Amino acid sequence: MGDKELIGQLTCVKILLEKGVDKERKGPVGQSAFEAAETDAIKALLK
């Protein structure tokens, strides 16, 4: 993953969290956002 792509994903996660998204909600395959996160940076935001 490139730096610009990671920054874009981090920005999206930050915005969703600021808007009050339920980070504990399970997705269609039964994973939380934390479980589905592919980078340590995104996992850190979701803790």
Give the CB-side neighbour count of residue 21, counting CA atoms within 13 A.
16
Q: Please give the residue range of the domain that contains residue 8.
A: 4-46
The number of domains in the chain is 1
pLDDT of the chain along its 47 residues, tens only? 789 998 999 999 999 999 999 999 999 999 999 999 999 999 999 99
The three-point CA angle 30-37-18 to 5° equals 95
pTM of full prediction above 0.85: no
